[in-house]
Amino acid sequence: MDAGRVVIVGASHASAQLCAGLRQGGWAGEILLIGDEPSLPYQRPPLSKALLAGEATVADLLIRKPEFYEKERVVFRQARVTLIDREAATVDLDDGETVGYDRLVLCTGARPRPLDIPGADLAGVHCLRDAADTDAIQRTLATARRAVVIGAGYIGLEAAASLRKLGVDVTVLEAADRVLQRVTAPAISAFYDRVHREEGVDLRVGVGVAAIEGDAAVTGVRLADGELVAADLVIVGVGVVPNVELAQDAGLAVDNGILVDAHGRTDDPAVFAAGDCASYFDARYDRRLRLECVSNAVEQAKTVAATICGKDKTISALPWFWSDQYDLKLQIAGLSTGYDEIVLRGDPRTGRSFACFYFAEGRLVAADCVNRAQEFMFSKRAIGEGLSPDRALLADPETPLVSLLRAPSVSAG
């Protein structure tokens, strides 16, 4: 393969996989990895869990150890890319240097969506997206005993669980009518609502936040109805925004993400994108997707690496996710958007183990599995193979899952 230079912008799950995939695919040229954090790529899901709870360090979370990058001749540079010049095939860095590329891969990820209310910039108010955020929260926790989490999505609920494990009083505020409303069925929302209340969280849904109050540092959160909720620490988790500005300024197509084809390539054949910042068309769900999950970042990175190395590979793996809260491991297979029916295996109203299967027009499209590893593995395979298992048998905990993989699929329950 002709020697050249691949420049990877962003030190992430996708970029770590890219470095490995390029070498495995035969890329003999230079690989330059540019990240704006001081660390090599590390696992980000534990930020709101093990790292926040003090059970791990950033060094523990490195996706690959420094020796890997040395062995594979990957040069890591801490810098921020400020400009892409596609005509010259160069990127400008914030230290004034210009670096040329033969292939450019944007793994720029996403950033927390800002909370546009008075007091959002007070000391003690934090987002949770990188190791520096977790560091800052831990410093605040040295004296904080009352925390308010704004947003009851996965990040907010994971943070609440970690804070409760540390003995902190936690109030969660959610504007929607139920937790996880955007991503789960009402039965799942009710389950997590119950669990967090059982663990001592003051959980409030359907509430608006008017302001964060305090002088030098936060002392409370003012609700839309005028109530003040006391707080020494506030964590904001109201979603993320993809980092597309570099691509947009370079004239690349963007629309809620950097638009890529099935090979991870942008509308410039020398420029690729992967991970949380990239939007691709998924034939299984018949629409464009921009996914915020490790499995997607890794799959896209494998595809981009193969494409750069001249191999035919497309983005096709089933999306899957996970969330750890208290003693619960939620594993999610597929995407439930557009479902019209659910089937429960186990009872989410009692206990802490069950699975929720999502169907759309008779076809299994997703599953939420709480402490149910077998159901998760079954769902990945069944969805991947386009099966429509008999709903009555699926709901029956006495029916072996493997028999549903062999049995004829049906479209009616």
- Please write the tens of the pLDDT for every residue from 181-222: 999 999 999 999 999 999 999 999 999 999 999 998 999 999
Non-local (6+) Cβ contacts of 187 within 8 A are 342, 344, 348, 356
Nearest to 347 by CA among 146, 204, 190, 143: 190
For 114-236, CATH gives: 3.50.50.60
**Which fold does the domain 5-111+240-308 belong to in CATH?**
FAD/NAD(P)-binding domain (3.50.50)
pLDDT of residue 413: 41
pLDDT computed for residue 93 by the predictor: 98
Domain ranges of the chain: 5-111+240-308, 114-236, 327-406
How confident is residue 48, by pLDDT bands cut at 50, 70 and 90? confident
Can you say whether residue 334 is alpha, beta or left, with left for phi > 0 and alpha for psi between -120 and 50 degrees?
left
Domain 327-406 coded CATH 2.115.10.20:
no
- Tens digits of per-residue pLDDT, 124-142? 999 999 999 999 999 999 9
Given a cut of 60, is residue 171 above it in pLDDT? yes
Count of alpha carbons within 13 Å of 56, Cβ hemisphere only? 19
- Please state the rounded mean pLDDT for residues 109-132: 95
What's the pLDDT score for residue 407? 57
Query: pLDDT exceeding 90 applies to what percent of the chain?
Result: 91
Res 408: pLDDT: 58
Identical fold, 5-111+240-308 and 327-406: no
Structure tokens at 207: 């509430």
Q: What is the dihedral of CA 93, 95, 98, 101, to 10 degrees?
A: -40
Q: How confident is the model at residue 325 (pLDDT cuts 50, 70, 90)?
A: very high
- pLDDT, mean of residues 156-171: 95
Tell me the one-letter amino acid at 257.
G
Give tens-digit pLDDT for 332-344: 999 999 999 999 9
Tell me: the pLDDT tens digits for 11-46?
999 999 999 999 999 999 999 999 999 999 999 988
SS3 369: strand
Its sign, for the CA torsion 200, 201, 207, 212, is positive
3-state secondary structure (DSSP) of residue 354: strand
Q: Are 330 and 373 in contact (CB under 8 A)?
A: no
DSSP 1-50: ----EEEEES-SHHHHHHHHHHHHTT--SEEEEEESSSSPPB-SGGGGTT
Tokens 């159901």 belong to: 375
Q: What does the pLDDT read at residue 52? A: 86
> Mind listing the pLDDT tens digit for each residue in 279-305?
999 988 889 999 999 999 999 999 999
**Torsion angle of alpha carbons 77, 82, 84, 89, nearest 10°?**
-40
Q: What is the mean pLDDT of the chain?
A: 94
Q: pLDDT at residue 2 above 80?
A: no
146, 172, 211, 391, 399 from 120: Cα distances, Å: 17, 16, 8, 47, 52
Question: Looking at residue 406, what is its pLDDT?
Answer: 76
For residue 108, the tally of other CB atoms under 10 A from its CB is 26
- Give the model confidence (pLDDT) of 211-265 as tens digits: 999 998 999 999 999 999 999 999 999 999 999 999 999 999 999 999 999 999 9
> How many Cβ atoms from other residues are within 10 Å of residue 336's Cβ?
21
How large a percentage of the chain has pLDDT more than 70? Answer: 98
Q: What was the pLDDT predicted at 411?
A: 43
87-98 residue pLDDT tens: 999 999 999 999
Helix (H) or strand (E) holding 150: strand 146-150
